[in-house]
A and B are shown apart, each in its own frame.
Chain A
Amino acid sequence: MTAKKRAIWVFGDYRNYFQNRVTLQLLSRARDLAARIDAEVCGVVFGYRTDEWRGDVDSYNPTFCGVVGEYIAHGADKVYLADDPRLDAYSMETYTLLMEQLVKREKPEIILIGATTFGREFASRVAKRLATGLTADCIGLDINDDGLLVQIAPSFGGNLVAEIVTPERRPQMATVRPGTFQEIPHDKSRTGKVVKVPLPKSLPADRVRLVRSERCPQREQKLEDAKVVVCGGRGLGSKKKFAKLFELADLLGGEVGATRPVVYADWADHEALVGQAGKQIKPQILLSFGISGAIQHTAACNDAKFIIAVNKNPNAAMMKRADVAIVSDASQICTTLIQELKRRIR
């Protein structure tokens, strides 16, 4: 009897598809990793009416061929599917139990889950249930010479990056930040196997009861989606000086962000908070004025492509992160930039 092929599983977090494409991104990476350890790539879907469109009404795409079809078209060799009215909403305990049973039966080598809010909590529970290791919020995955999954994850707000492995326990598990990997384009010709996962006749009721769940209209994520962000911190000195950032942002067609102390001092609204407890930004250009760079803030700026930081202190954490570190008075540079931009933009 041939040994069963090893498998890399990707959990299908499908309820916000098409905006949330992390599952497709993970399927793509899984293919790369699978090639290195001679494994197959499997999607795992728990839900109800999974062939129907479940995402946001406004973003419906007529080429949609059911979640399972999408996953196969984007790289899965196989999809484990549990489609049942009891799985209509994501319910943590039920999903954890189903995953536990499935894993114990099929014994995958690796499980990857997108680091959405649900995914992170779900992965934690599954890893605990299976007594295995889990690395959260990875920004990279690799296979090393020992054939182990190398889980690359940041800590201290991104100031430190760790390479982690799970040497003994199985499966090796990781959650991955959306946007870390590139999905493979939809390939209609790809085929794959669908394995129906039967539910036990009686499922214990989830001890957490979902009273109400409203999909929120995809709220305008101006700050999170902005291509240019102008962020200000205490180093600007005063509310009046902070306010000049709005003029600069306007000229650049960008948004204004703020650090926590600035929000508490009421120089900016809580909606402008960029930080671990506020908004995550991923601009092409980030201009950082008078920000020292507490990790709670820098953690949310990690995905900025190009950072220009202004601070009197050249050793501030934000200055070390920046591509261009300007040692000067933040407010003065802001004013001078505004003047110069006005001259150049007509």
Chain B
Amino acid sequence: MKHKVVRKAVRMFAEAELGPIAHDIDRDARFPLEVVEKMMPLHFFGLQAPKAYGGAEMDTISYAIVIEEISRVSAAVGLCLTVHNSVGIYPIVRFGTEEQKNRFLPAMARGERIGAFCLTEANAGSDAGGVETVALRDDRDYVINGTKIFVTNGGVCGTALIFAITDTQNPQRSAGVFIVEKENPGFAVGEIEDLCGMRANPVSSLFLEDCRVPETNMLGRPGDGIKIGLATLDAGRLGIAAQALGLAQAAFEDSVRYSKERQQFRKPISSFQTIQNYLADMATEIDAGRLLLYRACAVKDAGRPFGAEAAMAKLYCSELATRVTNTAVQIHGGYGYSKEYDVERYFRDAKVTEIYEGTSEVQRMVISRAVLAQRT
């Protein structure tokens, strides 16, 4: 019952507050701060954060439902929420010291500071080992230099988690994650990217120039970076899967509605077998994706390793989102190609779900490793 009520409550919020503006914020690439204001007291920015720090401490399936329902109306805003919650707050909760949690979490859980996780660089995408951002020790501080690109929430982030290497001789073993707040001198936000989709999300570059932070801003110890990064991405994948699912769901619902309305050859196109087959396939794979996602969420909540399950969910949901939104445009015909209808936005938004937080190729790496590691 809880999940049903959560879904209804978030859907009502999303339709009331984001529904009327989803199209326009995508067109204008405008991040809707006024909706963020309304989301803050409702715990959207502290969905799974512990209650002690002002979070809602929701179970992971509820969390997935929230992201799904927001993304169903505006995937760009859903992206903001999942990145903030899964790869902004989660690593601090999982790997932070009590002092760090007290210092950083409350403002983030309230939504006063939006989180961002900065890993990608010009030369480091799927190959995290190619990271060139360096954090060099200087007495009790670290001085960070480097440029991060394609940072989701970059334009509005208040608290950034920077993945940097601390020893250029030994990059892999010395990677660390540093928490940097935007007021920190040496931290600058670059221009907002002009992207195909997710346009309402302020994705940008971040420049770190002699950015000095105390060593107490490092999560864990030097060398923990890889471990933290991987664990964080596992959690992040669940959110992205939920986001992709929301997109697919929206495209599917619009397709069903349109196929009943649109008449050709004196019949609604829903009476044609081709369209019926499309709808049947869409319904089936969305359901399959949802079950994969919820299974991964349940495994995470049971405290067991969930990396492979999360990868499967992310891989499957993102690829189904691309397929479903593509078919949705096809079903809508010429109108599907027009900005008067929402499906072209879903289509544009869906593609990146196969790319960020680990491309589909990387997901397959993760899954195959798990498969091959199993004892026969």
Q: Mark B23-38, 1 if CB is under 8 A from A, else 0.
A: 1100000000000000
One of A74-82, A129-137, A214-222, A308-316 contacting the partner: A308-316
Q: From A329, which residue of chain B is reached at the shortest CB distance?
A: B340
In B213-263, the 8 Å CB interface with A consists of 257, 260-261
Q: A261 touching B16 by the CB < 8 A rule? A: yes
Interface residues on B, range: under 10
A265 at the interface (CB under 8 A from B): yes
Known A234-B19, A264-B16: A327·B24 in contact at CB below 8 Å = no
Taking CB atoms, residues of chain A closer than 8 Å to B20 are 234, 238, 261, 265
Instruction: Give every chain A residue within 8 A of B257 (Cβ-Cβ).
Output: 313
Chain B, residues 174-188, CB within 8 Å of chain A (1/0): the string is 000000000000000
**Chain B residues near A265 (CB-CB < 8 A):** 16, 20
Q: How far is the CA of A265 from the CA of B340 in the complex (A)?
A: 20
Task: Judge whether B24 and A238 touch: CB under 8 Å.
Answer: yes
Contacts of B261 in A (CB 8 A): 312-315, 327
A264 to B257, CA, bound (A): 25
What CA separation (Å) do A265 and B22 show in the bound complex? 13
- Chain A positions 297 through 333: 1 when the CB is less than 8 Å from some CB of chain B, otherwise 0: 0000000000000001111000000000001010000
Which A positions have Cβ atoms within 8 angstroms of B?
A: 234, 237-238, 261, 264-265, 312-315, 327, 329
Contact A315 B260 (CB under 8 A): yes
If over half of B's interface residues share one DSSP class (helix, strand or loop), that class is named, otherwise mixed; here it is helix
- Tell me, in angstroms, the Cα distance from A234 to B23 when the chains sit together: 13
Which 7 A-B pairs give the minimum distances between C-beta atoms?
A: A265-B20, A314-B261, A313-B261, A313-B257, A234-B20, A264-B16, A312-B261
Residues of B174-210 whose CB lies within 8 A of A: none
- State the Cβ distance, A90 to closest chain B Cβ, in Å: 39
The proximity string for B residues 7-47 relative to A, scoring 1 for CB distances below 8 Å and 0 otherwise, is 00000000010011001100000000000000000000000
A-B contact pairs, 8 of them (CB 8 A): A237-B23, A238-B20, A238-B24, A261-B20, A265-B16, A265-B20, A313-B257, A314-B261
Question: In the complex, what distance in Å separates the CA atom of A238 from the CA atom of B23?
Answer: 10
Chain B residues positioned under 8 Å from A329 (CB to CB): 340
Q: With a CB–CB cut-off of 8 A, which chain B residues contact A238?
A: 20, 24
CB-defined contacts of A313 to chain B, threshold 8 Å: 257, 261
A320 CB to closest chain B CB (Å) equals 14
Identity of the chain B residue whose Cβ is nearest the Cβ of A267 in the assembled complex:
B20
Question: In the assembled complex, how far is the CB of residue B260 from the closest CB belonging to chain A, in whole angstroms?
Answer: 7
Instruction: Give the residue name and chain of the B residue nearest to A331 (CB).
Output: B340
With both chains docked as a complex, state the minimum distance between the C-beta of B337 and any C-beta of chain A, in angstroms. Answer: 16
- With A237-B23, A329-B340 already in contact, 10 other A-B pairs whose C-beta atoms are closer than 8 Å: A234-B19, A234-B20, A238-B24, A261-B16, A264-B16, A265-B20, A313-B261, A314-B260, A314-B261, A315-B261
Closest to A312 in B: B261
A residues near B19, Cβ cutoff 8 Å? 234
Contacts of B260 in A (CB 8 A): 314-315
- Compute how far the CA of A234 lies from the CA of B19 in the bound complex, rounded to whole angstroms: 9
